[in-house]
């Protein structure tokens, strides 16, 4: 009984949010048109994404760094791209954090590592985005804008910093950024690794040998980056990913409960 009452309360609350956070029609059309991998989604998906984006905008807090102004168009673009991976999983997947910090451009982060001889190495890392456990999530707007699924000259490569960083959020739900999202059982985790790791090893070989790949070579960095980059490919260039890495594609299709390569 209590759960039904709770459900009704939640539905009423959501209905109020959807009214308050209703997305302007013209802005919605412009946003979808700017993202070709979204534009080809069926109307039913787009309607659900629009609803989810309203709830996302209500739950998350955007802030601009260094005077950068996050307007409605920027926030909506991020929201709808972030919602796509969790279309079938639900927004609660992102409950662990609230803040999203937007920069105008990539951020240079000073890094320090100490090697086995105790020598400290300092270097700069250029970040298009960064997800940390518990948030906030950081994104560069210049890089988000480059994430529309540029097919360019063949072979097409996927690039989408929003999907990439939110895939890291999903990966970290079990507390460890290791390329394995939160799965129901230890057996599921073993089955996941039995597909992911051979695909990762093959990918690294291809990169070392200098072959072209659908996924960005950065995916060879580590299994967690491989999962994040593969998620970009899964949503932005699904048919190409399915052809190059069929087992990996199926793994992601069963996790995300979507089959974007099958879209007409
Ligand atoms: Zn990453």
Q: How many whole angstroms from 240 Cα to the centroid of ligand 1?
A: 21
> Torsions phi, psi of 121, nearest 5?
-110, 130
Give the pLDDT band of residue 155 (cuts 50, 70, 90): very low
Element spanning 140, H or E: strand 137-140
* Interval between CA 87 and ligand 1 midpoint (Å): 21
Distance 168 CA to ligand 1 centre (A): 7
- Considering Cα of 27, then 40, then 105, then 85, what sign does the dihedral take? positive
**Cβ distance 177 to 171 under 8 Å?**
yes
Q: How far is the CA of 22 from the centre of ligand 1 (A)?
A: 32
pLDDT band at 147 (very low <50, low <70, confident <90, very high): low
Please give the helix or strand (H or E) that residue 109 lies within, else none.
strand 107-114
Least confident interval from 72-76, 86-90, 174-178, 225-229: 174-178
What's the gap in Å between 236 CA and the centre of ligand 1? Answer: 16
Ligand 1: centre distance to CA 159 (Å): 12
Examine the pLDDT at 254 and tell me if it is beyond 60: yes
Calculate the average pLDDT of the chain: 92
What are the tens digits of pLDDT across the range 95-130? 999 999 999 999 988 888 898 889 999 988 889 999
- What is the pTM for the complete model shown? 0.91
The pLDDT, as a whole number, for residue 21 is 86
Ligand 1 centroid, distance to 232 Cα (angstroms): 11
What pLDDT score does 4 carry? 85
Is residue 151 very low, low, confident or very high in pLDDT (cuts 50, 70, 90)?
very low
CA of 130 to the centre of ligand 1 (A): 7
Q: Is the pLDDT of residue 149 over 60?
A: no
Percentage of the chain with pLDDT > 70?
95
Residue 154 predicted with pLDDT over 90: no
More confident residue, 4 or 220: 220
Ligand 1 centroid–CA 58 distance in Å is 26
Arithmetic mean of pLDDT, 48-69 = 96
pLDDT level of residue 11 (50, 70, 90 thresholds): confident
Average pLDDT, stretch 134-138? 90
Separation of 201 CA from ligand 1 center, angstroms?
Answer: 18
Residues with CB under 5 A from ligand 1 (ion): 225, 228
Rounded to an integer, the average pLDDT of 207-211 is 90
Ligand 1 mean position, distance from CA 10 (Å):
34
Q: How many A from CA of 14 to the centre of ligand 1?
A: 32
Q: 18 is written with which tokens? A: 């959807």
The Cα-based distances of 135 to 58, 61, 75, 165 in angstroms read: 17, 11, 17, 11
Return d(Cα 219, Cα 38) in angstroms, integer.
23
Is residue 50's pLDDT more than 60? yes
pLDDT band at 152 (very low <50, low <70, confident <90, very high): very low
Better-predicted residue by pLDDT, 89 or 4: 89
- 142 with 106: CB under 8 angstroms? yes
Q: How confident is the model at residue 1 (pLDDT cuts 50, 70, 90)?
A: low
Separation of 138 CA from ligand 1 center, angstroms?
11
Distance 228 CA to ligand 1 centre (A): 6
In the predicted model, what is the mean pLDDT of residues 221-229?
A: 97
In this structure, of 39-43, 148-152, 175-179, 205-209, the range with the lowest mean pLDDT score is 148-152
Q: For residue 69, is pLDDT > 90?
A: yes
Separation of first and last alpha carbons in the chain: 43
């Amino acid at each position: 009984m209590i759960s039904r009452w709770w459900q009704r309360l939640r539905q009423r609350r959501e209905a109020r949010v959807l009214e308050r956070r209703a997305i302007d029609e013209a802005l919605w059309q412009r946003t979808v048109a700017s993202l070709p991998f979204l534009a080809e989604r069926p109307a039913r998906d787009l309607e659900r994404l629009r609803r989810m984006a309203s709830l996302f905008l209500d739950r998350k807090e955007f802030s601009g760094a260094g005077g950068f102004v996050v307007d409605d168009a920027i926030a909506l673009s991020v929201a709808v791209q972030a919602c796509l991976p969790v279309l079938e999983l639900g927004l609660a997947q992102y409950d662990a954090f609230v803040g999203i910090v937007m920069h105008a451009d990539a951020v240079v982060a000073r890094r320090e590592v100490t090697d086995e001889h105790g020598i400290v190495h300092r270097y700069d890392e250029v970040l298009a985005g960064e997800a940390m456990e518990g948030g906030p999530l950081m994104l560069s707007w210049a890089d988000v804008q480059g994430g529309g699924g540029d097919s360019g000259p063949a072979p097409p490569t996927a690039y989408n910093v929003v999907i990439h960083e939110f895939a890291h959020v999903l990966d970290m739900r079990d507390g460890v950024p290791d390329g394995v999202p939160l799965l129901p059982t230890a057996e599921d985790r073993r089955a996941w690794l039995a597909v992911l790791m051979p695909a990762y090893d093959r990918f690294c070989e291809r990169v070392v040998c200098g072959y072209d790949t659908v996924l960005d070579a950065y995916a060879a960095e580590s299994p967690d980056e491989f999962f994040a980059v593969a998620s970009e490919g899964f949503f932005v260039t699904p048919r190409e990913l399915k052809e190059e890495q069929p087992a990996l594609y199926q793994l992601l299709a069963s996790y995300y409960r979507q089959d974007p390569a099958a879209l007409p």
